[in-house]
Structure 1
Amino acid sequence: MHLSDIDRRSAVPLVEQVVALVHRRMAQRQLAPGARLPSIRALAESLSISRSTVVDAYDRLVSEGAIHSRPGAGFFVGDRLPPLSLAELGPPRAREVDPLWLTRQALESDQARWRPGCGWLPAEWMPHDDIRRGLRQLARRSCALPTLTDYAPPQGLGALRQVLSRRLAERGVEASPQQIMLAESGTQAIDLLCRFLLEPGDCVVVDDPCYFNFHAMLRAHRVTVIGVPFTPSGPDLVHLGHALEQHRPRLYITNSGLHNPTGAGLTLAVAHRVLRLAEQHDLLIIEDDIFADFDIQQAPRLAALDGLDRVLQVGSFSKTLSASVRCGYIAARGEWIEELVDLKLATSFGASALSAELVLQLVREGAYRRHLNLLRARLGDAMGRVNLRLRSSGLEPWIEPAGGMFVWASLPSGLLAKEVAREALNVGLVLAPGEVFSADGKASRYLRFNVAQCTSAEVFDLLDSTLERVAGQQ
């Protein structure tokens, strides 16, 4: 075990890195059953870490049963090793750049130091103190005991649905609390709606490019996906009309405000035309609005113009509050909610009562509003600086987004996003290549950047060197 096995710049604590290192050596069969581990002193010196760190790591490994100690003799590998991992025996095998490639790289890669391609805010931007205070207050309330242990009401916490109804009304969406159902997340909400509305073999229209997980989810539902080019003002109406006439799709899934990945917003004229086409072709629309709270200009919403007739709207607090506090919602026709509740009970038995109570408390006491005000200001500042820095690196933003966290930028001529993203992984940089957002490969020269994850100068230093290497390889 060598000094290079430890990354002091990583957010992972040193103790956890040492534990992972021993597990990795065992999986690679570099530590055989019964083999003696380095002494506490020897390992601390070889890794240039404190002895107390090694003691804590060995204690954890002993408690897991991975190693055992012999008084006066030291620490030894246990008799039972984990299954042989072929992937650990050499360089990581290349995975095809598909819709889930980006998520896996951002969440699973041990080498990922910087994540400008991920779709969430940095941990230090989130309201940790407010969440801790809210959890303490919930734990102290005697009436909160069922919240800590019981299932949530099938449709979701009534008081939170009332708050959501008022918040939606501020955006022009008229939805009574009875027209709202809570879900664990925006992803679960869309999955439930796909289960509810689609049959295998149906046709679904999505924007091109669109959020990569739409492709993965729809593939799981075994439907045919048709991409419609997305413009700075919304879907290309000519292409959308042709797709509706030719394929007769059942459903259209889109972002109206702060489109993912482009950051664009729907104009009022395009929104009206989309709804006219939907009525003409008997089309239903899922409007994914999880970025609504980032939207400063409040672009037109299809659900507001449609009155929740053909449009079903989805929202979530995962991006703005916490990915660990799983709380999303569906706003839809009143007669559909009961069937959706039954479907939710059949597939997941409900959403988190604790998450719903925590969100309600943070919204009611004003902590969430104050947090959003700070977020919008920080994102606005980061957006301007990142656009300038991208241009200096030879990339060109597709538009200047009015808010949110995403910039969609084209690479210098001759470079492919997939090749750049793969090369960037070698230096710990996770990028979002356009191929994961587009079904037909039209976005192969684009990268999506999360401006909140690009505040360090090192991100662009690594990006510049990566671009130089890829260009030199051609």
Structure 2
Amino acid sequence: MLMRSPAETLTDQLANRFSERIRNRLLAPGSRLPSVRECARRHEVSPYTVVAAYDQLLAQGLIEARRNRGFFVRESRVDHRAEPTPSPRAVRPSLETRTRTPIDAATLIRGMFRQVHGQDGQMKAVPGMGVLPPGWLETPFMGAAVRRVTGTANLYSLSLQYGEPAGDTGLRRALSQKLAALEIEAAPDQIVTTVGATHALDIVCRTLLRPGDAVMVDEPGWAVEFARLTQMGMRILPVPRREDGPDLEVMTRYCEAYAPDQRPKLFVSVSVLHNPTGQSLSPSSAHRVLQLAQQHGFHVVEDDTYSHLAPEHATRMCSLDALQRTIYISGFAKILAPNWRVGYLAAAPHLVERFIDTKLLGTLTTPSLFEQALAHCLEQGQIRRHAERVRARLGAARARAVQLAVKAGCRFVTEPAGLFGWLDTGVDTDRLAQVMMDDGYLLAPGSLFHAVHQPSSLMRINFATTQDAGFWRDFERVRRQL
């Protein structure tokens, strides 16, 4: 609540509250601020106070007024690159390439690093979080593994020189065995370790793409991937995600609509436990995607970030393709140690040296100490057993979260699976997220998961962080207000 104080007026308090959120990117560029009347009611102040606070934000250049539409967080300037001219077989209007920066992906990322306090001063769960709660990841074997590899002699030898360009040999051997259990045949010299899975994606794109190249991506999809590709100057071609995989008709039209040198060079997709829908690829869809890749000459990047949470024998394109036109990417942030930043990629031999060159130019090396500790955890089967416990715990959490969400009047638009639920709230979730931020909750509105911002009533929830019935009571109250 805003409190009357001789040290700070209500106007200044309200302006500072919005200013802090905008500067910390908790309100993303393009976000609409509450109307004057709605803001006055929510904060129990007069409309004149709200107008004066918005005037301060306008003067600071943080927001802009749009005639007959309201107040919006000012967009950062974007370099709109000219798009290549398509061949005479024009693309349908619904398939236009998109180069605009999406609603700021940093909003979602910063929410993972920052707790918002509610008006009661208490920190609450983060329903929009993209990872498991820290308490779920705590294990005794992680510390033991670090202590094992940091004996005095080993500590100095690993810390005082750069590691192997491709990554620690022992870890790459352990990863090769792990992939074999997924029926993906990749020798240790086909594997390159990275600073997390996002770094692996970046290495692949910087190696295989040039500014202006077209990249097909899942939509809805990972906001960070949209933003990262846009910053690199790529043309984003959104592919609607269906229950069994990508919309193959849309992919085919993308491949056939452009001249050969302007066709998609890459398809980046989460096959198993897709973010945000939780869906997984069917075998028939996987075969057809691979046929398209072979026919039209693009590579498929399979992001298997949630592999540790996936059911056994889930379909992976890299298994069917034997890493011919596919590139496999994964990491351990979602199941073990987000701050260790250990990820990896597996690819055909003729691509590996190129990926290593790109890695060396960007990071020189990767942390050998953590890589050796991780290799020990893999070799001893500790991560496998830990993942089994987490999956069981997540299953129970998912059942409870689904029950609470349905009771609160939401509808799941996809079958609940994995870490995330994709549900319809019935209201504009951009507005919902803004209001609930006052109560200390950070949400992940549906607009974050589209290549170009568009209003949405959908929302992604993290099943592990939506166990609190209090959150759902607050959710129902705010939704009724909206």
Fold match (TM-score > 0.5): yes
CA gap of 1:168–1:438, structure 2 versus 1, over 3 A, is: same
Counterpart selection for 2:187 from 148, 151, 176:
176
1:293 aligns with 2:304: no
Deviations 1:76-104 (A, max 9, x none): xxxxxxxxxx99x99x9757642222212
* Displacement of 1:279: 1.1
* Displacement of 1:129: 2.4
Distance in 2 separating the partners of 1:332 and 1:292: 17
Alignment of 1:55-74 (within 5 A): none
Assess if the C-alpha contact under 8 Å between 2:436 and 2:442 holds in 1: yes
Deviations 1:12-36 (A, max 9, x none): xxxxxxxxxxxx9xxxxxxxxxxxx
Structure-2 residue corresponding to 1:261: 276
SS at the partner of 1:253? Answer: strand
For normalisation by structure 2, the TM-score amounts to 0.75
1:282 aligns with 2:294: no
Alignment of 1:423-442 (within 5 A): 423-441=435-453
Supply the AA of the counterpart residue of 2:446: G
Structure-1 residue corresponding to 2:457: 445
Distance in 2 separating the partners of 1:95 and 1:131: 44
Counterpart selection for 2:476 from 457, 460, 464:
464
Aligned length: 386
CA gap of 1:370–1:3, structure 2 versus 1, over 3 A, is: farther
Q: Answer 1 or 2: higher relative contact order, Cα 8 Å, separation at least 6.
A: 2
* Displacement of 1:107: 2.2
Distance in 1 separating the partners of 2:150 and 2:190: 30
Structure-1 residue corresponding to 2:423: 409
Assess if the C-alpha contact under 8 Å between 2:408 and 2:473 holds in 1: no
Structure-1 residue corresponding to 2:45: none
Distance in 2 separating the partners of 1:451 and 1:393: 15
Deviations 1:296-345 (A, max 9, x none): 14321011111111111101011111111110001001111112111111
Structure-2 residue corresponding to 1:371: 386
Supply the AA of the counterpart residue of 1:130: F
Counterpart selection for 1:221 from 232, 237, 242:
232
1:250 aligns with 2:280: no
Cα RMSD over matched residues? 2.5
SS at the partner of 1:324? Answer: helix
* Displacement of 1:441: 4.7
Distance in 1 separating the partners of 2:386 and 2:115: 30
Deviations 1:246-301 (A, max 9, x none): 24211110001010111000000010011111111111111101111110143210
* Displacement of 1:174: 0.9
For normalisation by structure 1, the TM-score amounts to 0.77
CA gap of 1:233–1:136, structure 2 versus 1, over 3 A, is: same
CA gap of 1:100–1:298, structure 2 versus 1, over 3 A, is: farther
* Displacement of 1:3: 12
Counterpart selection for 2:170 from 149, 159, 168:
159
* Displacement of 1:151: 2.1
Distance in 2 separating the partners of 1:309 and 1:140: 41
Supply the AA of the counterpart residue of 2:420: F
Structure-2 residue corresponding to 1:53: none
Supply the AA of the counterpart residue of 1:454: T
Uncovered stretches (5+) of structure 1, i.e. residues with no partner: 5-23, 25-85
Distance in 1 separating the partners of 2:345 and 2:475: 39
Structure-2 residue corresponding to 1:38: none
Deviations 1:141-197 (A, max 9, x none): 644432344322110011111111111111111111010000011000001111001
Supply the AA of the counterpart residue of 1:300: T
* Displacement of 1:127: 2.6
Deviations 1:330-387 (A, max 9, x none): 1001111112111111111111111101111212223212211110001111111111
Alignment of 1:224-239 (within 5 A): 224-239=235-250
1:134 aligns with 2:145: yes
Structure-1 residue corresponding to 2:336: 321
Structure-1 residue corresponding to 2:113: 107
Counterpart selection for 2:200 from 179, 189, 195:
189
CA gap of 1:155–1:406, structure 2 versus 1, over 3 A, is: same
Structure-2 residue corresponding to 1:77: none
Distance in 2 separating the partners of 1:168 and 1:257: 15
Assess if the C-alpha contact under 8 Å between 2:116 and 2:437 holds in 1: no
Q: Which protein has the larger Cα radius of gyration, Structure 1 or Structure 2?
A: 1
* Displacement of 1:214: 0.8
Distance in 1 separating the partners of 2:384 and 2:111: 32
Alignment of 1:200-219 (within 5 A): 200-219=211-230
Assess if the C-alpha contact under 8 Å between 1:98 and 1:435 holds in 2: no
Assess if the C-alpha contact under 8 Å between 2:324 and 2:348 holds in 1: yes
Supply the AA of the counterpart residue of 2:479: L
Assess if the C-alpha contact under 8 Å between 1:253 and 1:285 holds in 2: yes
SS at the partner of 2:124? Answer: coil
Deviations 1:426-464 (A, max 9, x none): 111011011111124567121011111112222222222
Aligned residues with identical type, % of pairs = 32
Distance in 2 separating the partners of 1:319 and 1:331: 19
CA gap of 1:109–1:382, structure 2 versus 1, over 3 A, is: closer
